[in-house]
Structure 1
Amino acid sequence: MTLKMGFIGFGKSTTIFHLPYVLIRNQYEVKKIYSRTAKPDMEKPYREKNIEFVYELAQLLDDKEISLITICTSHDTHYEFAKACLQHGKNVLVEKPFCFTGDAAKELLELAAVKGLVIMPYQNRRFDSDFLALQEVMDSGRLGKVTEIESHFDYYNPDAPDANSSSRYNGAVYGLGVHLIDQAVSLFGRPEKVYYDIRSVRNSNNADDYFHIELFYSQLKFILKMSHLVKAPYPKFLAHGTNGSFMKYGIDQQEKDLFAGRTPDESGFGEDPQNAYAKIAYSENGNDHQESWTTPKGDYGRIYDLLYETIVHHQPKPVTDEEILTVIEIMERGVNGENPKVLNLQREFPRQ
């Protein structure tokens, strides 16, 4: 069975992070793309693939052949577009962040449930090669019981002119933190406590551009950091356990290759250079070992594979409702109120 689908939005998110993966998958057919304005030069190669461009949203929503719509628009439009899609009987995949608030997310999830539809965010970085390497090493048992993990999104970009919006929802936490938080939640669920240090360090007129968030799970701490003021290379992931440690430099190569115009079906796409393989040091049977861990192949398209199984074969959603609400709760509580702070989610904010 082929799912006919459409897109809302025709910017870099659609053309770089979605279409290259969808167009090589036989289980999907992209029928229509809605854009507010025509972009003839950008549209031409997709029109040649028999994709229709429409400039009235109703032309997409009223198409009864389309059963899935992916939303790739600005953050502040996600809720309204997602609700409209559900009201028109469409399954929905929403670019991150899913919503700004937990209340909005609950409303969409409840509406989808009433209508028997599937809605979830596009948490593609669950399929980053560096994150997959971390999971493989943890599953191998070489680290023993993991007690601390550190995850980074670091850049060096000291310039920060005034942004168009200083909204707390348009900063680094909702833009990039959503990925790091989701990775942690996908592994360990809802934390017991959260420490926040969320700031704007380059331009106080802008929303946050730095965060240090710590998620506490019993005896495990998951540290999430992002800064635009990191000049020297720093590991993407660090992990320490009772038997050993894991260190991985360098982020997944898919984004770099996509922006270079390469496609996921090309040989060597997304492959990690050998000098970026993870390093692990561990003890086993009284002996010390050091190993290089080959980076597994990442594939953002796996989100679409799993979503297909959910829609067509009624398999569990790859990103559960509980995970969706937990990620939004952590972000929403972090950007509101004073910083730094520590919140006890189990005592102060028990999940109803």
Structure 2
Amino acid sequence: MTKQILQVGFLGAGKSTHRYQGPFIAKLTDKFHIKTIWARNLSHVKWDQIPGAVYTENIDDVLQDPDIDLVVISLPVLHYEYTKKTLLAGKNVVCEKPFTESRVQAEELFDLAKEKGLLCMCIQNRRFDSDFLTAQAVIESGRLGDIYEVEMHYDYYRKDVVDAGKFDPFGSFLYQHACHTLDQAISYFGIPHDYHAEVKQLLGSGRMNDYFDIDLYYDAPLKVNVSSSYMRIKSRPKITVYGSKSH
């Protein structure tokens, strides 16, 4: 990847492509050009098309195009399968979350990318959220003293989603949303020494899991708590930091 402007392809043409990933990539015109976007059925695309991009129902228009350097996998499911297919086609990959269903799958993909001299990673754009960056700045300013507890929340009230959803460990609130906040915590505080996790189905057996509470334990006294629910009408603060100094 030595070219000045990288040619980008997308697998998937839904909200993630048109609202979360595409617009940010398209702004970096000195670095990227979105060339081709694949959808299983173009008639189902409900978003305004990205200017300059070619939309196609033929996946080989992305995977077999020698000009495309990077493929963004922006599908809601089958991330492992499509990431592997894309790496085998010789393309660098950025994949939507959740990256895979297991550590074994993730390690297989990273090993495959290394074998082929490619880059493979999961999208983690929440590392750039303003509240998370502000919390880091406050911690690093020293105004709070020694940090002993951090609470991180990602709350919703979406009972209709819970009512419609059946239990699926890989399509759950834990896999779909906790990954954002856990990535923030681990990217800043590092890998914890230990953890405790509680996952619930608040509306009963057979429903999607709609609640998680995860404690990450670091060198004493620091503990980071990541907890959220689909059933909170009033959201808690996104990030609360407790330190040895009071202001």
TM range (shorter): over 0.9
TM superposition shift of 1:105: 0.2
CA distance in 2, matches of 1:111, 1:207: 33
Which runs of 5 or more structure 2 residues have no equivalent in the other structure?
A: none
Shift of 1:184: 0.7
Instruction: Quote the Cα distance in structure 2 between the aligned partners of 1:130 and 1:44.
Output: 29
Deviation digits for residues 250-285 of structure 1 (CA, Å, limit 9, x no counterpart): xxxxxxxxxxxxxxxxxxxxxxxxxxxxxxx2xxxx
Q: How does 1:191-270 map to 2 (within 5 A)?
A: 191-219=192-220, 220-244=222-246
* Whole-angstrom distance in 1 between the partners of 2:214 and 2:22: 33
SS in structure 2 opposite 1:132?
helix
Please state how far the C-alpha of 1:232 moved relative to its aligned partner: 3.0
| CA distance in structure 2 between the aligned counterparts of 1:184 and 1:41, rounded to whole angstroms | 34
Residue 53 of structure 1 deviates from its aligned partner by 1.2
State the 1:43 CA deviation: 6.8
- Which of 20, 23, 28 matches 1:25? 28
C-alpha distance in structure 2 between counterparts of 1:157 and 1:129, whole Å: 24
Displacement of 1:170 in angstroms is 1.2
SS in 1 for 2:212: strand
Matching residue of 1:342 = none
In the alignment, the residues of structure 2 paired with residue 41 and residue 111 of structure 1 have an alpha-carbon distance, to the nearest angstrom, of: 32
> TM-score if structure 1 supplies the norm length?
0.66
Q: In 1, distance between residues paired with 2:81 and 2:32?
A: 25
Q: How many residues align?
A: 241
Aligned residue in 2 for 1:15:
18
Partner of 1:322: none
Provide the residue aligned with 1:109 in structure 2: 110
Could you list the runs of 5+ residues in structure 1 that have no partner in the other structure?
A: 245-280, 282-352
Distance 1:41 1:115 in 2: 33
Distance 1:44 1:142, change over 3 A: closer
CA distance in 2, matches of 1:171, 1:56: 30
- Aligned pairs for 1:37-76 (under 5 A) are 37-39=41-43, 42=46, 45-46=49-50, 49-75=51-77
1:184 partner amino acid: A
- 1:207: Cα distance to partner? 2.4
Does 1:138 pair with 2:146? no
Q: Is the 8 A contact 1:158 1:202 kept in 2?
A: no
Distance 1:72 1:150 in 2: 29
Question: Equivalents in 1 of 2:150, 2:48: separation in Å?
Answer: 45
Cα RMSD (Å): 1.6
Contact 1:149 1:239 in 2 (8 A): yes
Identity %: 35
- What amino acid maps onto 2:62 in structure 1? L
Work out whether residues 162 and 203 of structure 1, in 8 Å CA contact, stay in contact via their aligned partners in 2: no
Name 2:99's counterpart in structure 1.
98
1:174 aligns to what? 175
* 1:5 maps to amino acid: V
**Deviation of the 1:88 alpha carbon:** 1.0
Residue 97 of structure 1 aligns to a residue in which SS? coil
1-structure distance, mates of 2:203, 2:19: 28
TM-score by length of 2: 0.93
